[in-house]
Chain A
Amino acid sequence: MKKQILKFLSFKLLFFFILTIWPVLNPSTAGTTYLKESATKIEYDKSFEGGFEVLGVELPFGFSVSGGSTAIGVTTYCDWALATCDNSKNGFKAF
């Protein structure tokens, strides 16, 4: 009888342990019904400027625009549309 009780308890303990540790193995989903996202992406400045020159040579009637892209910072965001996001980390941080 004692052996049976202990066997029953040991199985309960085992299942409790597995269920407790399972979300920890997947930190992105721990404690959530659905996956909550907090992603990061690099932002680039794509501004351009105009001037009456091309490649440094001023043109009599021409007009040129020059530009390029430079990384300026990172945006942390959550992609969800309807579900609740953890928005505390959202925002832009300049380099």
Chain B
Amino acid sequence: MGLLLNFSTTHLMKITLKTLIILLALSCNSKENFHSHQSSKDQIQLISVEQLNHHHTILLDSIFEIETIIDLESPESIFIGAHDKVLTTDSAIFILDRDRTHSIFAFGKNGKFLYKIDDLGQGPDEYQELRDFTISTSDSLVEILDFAGRKILKYQMGTGYFLNSTQLDKNTYYGALESSQGYYTFAHNNICGLLGDCYNLTLFNQKSTKDTSLLLIPKNLRNYDLKPSQIFSRNVDNIYFKELFNDTIYKINFVKPQLEAAFAIDLGDQKVSNDFLYSNKNKSSNDIINYAIEENKSLEIKDFYIGDSIVYFTYGFPKLRQVFFDQKKKIGLTFERFTTNNLLLLGEIIGVSENQFVTILSDEKLMELKKSFNDLDSTSYMNNFSEFYQLIKSRKSGSSPIIVLIKVNIK
């Protein structure tokens, strides 16, 4: 009996040792070495916000120039609940409403409604959850990321007809999708894959199979509950990426494939220190928000859009500052508040195409403006804002938004 006990204890110790070795091997599977983003220093544009000209309030009319106004058609069959992402081509505008109608709406550049993709369901040609979408101009495709179904659904860009779908690895978290020239990239929103892949970005090759993983997720930020406001930014076929709390904006080179650090944004003393961000004190959104409130510091840059010459981003906590930086002139400005006497400049920047920024005036904002002006003297209102007045005078609640394409000039 004693011999059996002795034997069992020795054997159990061996088993425990084996188990520990296996667990150690599994934990080493998620490579801890940082995948470098290869960029020569002269390719990186450093933008230090503290060196830019700061205005408390700016007159938008002094930096914005309206190029095109697109009043999107509002047939009775459609209702756009939210505009979570807007992409444009030479001839069309695509709007994602992720959570309210689970649809993508396509309009011509003249505002004419073309079609909507509304395939929520559990069938093979349907998506269970519309997480993100992108467009492929070279293949004339609209591509949808179905998070729950772990697949990409492809639609003909001109008509919205469903073509086919590509199944993805079911054990990986796909937070966002972009594509360019037949290549795909996925962002994982700080969630490690079940197979030990603990990187924030994956690049897929043209055969739609995984090519490489980049940007190791820091240990304290794995499964972090705060999601980045914006993950990808698209300017025609150029795709830019930013991960949570890291204020470097990377350009994705799909062909090599690799990341190229394009912009290093330095928020200086206005940013929460890296010592806190990447420490065990920062394990959830509660930790960082409490710290940011106490210290009055910015968490990260929020939205970012990279035009051919102008870079736009926002940062700051609790007041959000807007930043415009001219890459060629190497000048920029920041401001906290704006004022304008052109109501069409009140749209939110939601995209960029070459040098044109895409702004959107939501139905909610337009109705609020219409309501606030009802009390005013209609003659002076019509005289001062005749263009705006004509656009909204017969507007009904629930209509499609107005898109305004603007050019930014920094003097």
Selected contact of B380 from candidates A2, A61, A68, A79, CB within 8 Å: A61
Contacts A61-B383, A62-B341, A82-B129 given; does A35 touch B173 at CB 8 Å:
yes
**A1-33 to B contact mask, C-beta < 8 Å, 1/0:** 010001000100110011001000111110000
Rounded to whole angstroms, the CA-CA distance of A13 and B12 in the bound complex is 10
Task: Compute how far the CA of A35 lies from the CA of B128 in the bound complex, rounded to whole angstroms.
Answer: 14
A83 touches B148 (CB 8 A): yes
| Residues in chain B near residue A70, CB distance under 8 A | 318-320
Q: Is the CB of A6 within 8 A of B7?
A: yes
Chain B contact residues, majority secondary structure: mixed
Given contacts A6-B8, A71-B317, A81-B129, is CB(A63)–CB(B341) below 8 Å?
yes
Q: Is the CB of A80 within 8 A of B19?
A: no
Residues of A within 8 A of B409 (CB): none
Instruction: Verify if B15 is at the interface (C-beta below 8 Å from A).
Output: yes
| Residue in B57, B318, B337 whose Cβ sees the most chain A Cβ within 10 Å | B318
**Beta-carbon contact of B341 and A81 below 8 Å:** no
Which residues on the B side are within 8 Å of A14 (C-beta)?
15, 18-19, 22
List chain B residues, Cβ under 8 A from A71: 317-320
Per-residue A-contact encoding for B375-386, CB less than 8 Å = 1, 0 else: 010001101110
Question: Distance in Å from the Cβ of B127 to the closest Cβ of chain A?
Answer: 8
Min Cβ gap A34→B in Å is 7
Chain A residues, CB < 8 A from B317:
71
With A41-B226, A54-B341, A95-B318: A65-B11 Cβ-Cβ less than 8 Å: no
- The answer to the question of A87 belonging to the interface, with a C-beta cut-off of 8 Å to chain B, is no
Bound-state CA distance A32–B128 (Å) is 17
Residue in contact with B338 in the complex, picked from A38, A59, A67, CB distance below 8 Å: A67
Please measure, in the bound complex, the distance between the C-alpha atom of A29 and the C-alpha atom of B172, giving whole angstroms. Answer: 11
Contact B319 A69 (CB under 8 A): yes
CB under 8 Å from chain A, chain B span 224-272: 225-227, 229
Nearest A residue to B380, CB-CB: A61
In Å, the complex CA distance between A68 and B336 comes to 6
Residues of A29-64 whose CB lies within 8 A of B: 29, 34-35, 38-42, 44, 46, 48, 50, 54-55, 59, 61-64
Are A81 and B383 within 8 A (Cβ)? no
- Whether A50 lies near B372 (C-beta < 8 A) is yes
> Which residues from chain A contact B293 at a C-beta distance below 8 Å?
95
- Interface residue? B191 (CB, 8 A): yes
Q: How far is the CA of A67 from the CA of B336 in the complex (A)?
A: 9
Known interface pairs A28-B223, A41-B229; A66-B337 also in contact (CB < 8 Å):
yes
Q: Which residues of A does B touch, CB under 8 Å? A: 2, 6, 10, 13-14, 17-18, 21, 25-29, 34-35, 38-42, 44, 46, 48, 50, 54-55, 59, 61-72, 74, 76, 79-83, 95
Ordered by A's residue number, 12 sampled pairs between the chains whose C-beta atoms are within 8 Å are: A18-B23, A28-B173, A42-B226, A44-B320, A50-B373, A61-B383, A65-B341, A65-B346, A68-B337, A70-B318, A80-B129, A81-B128
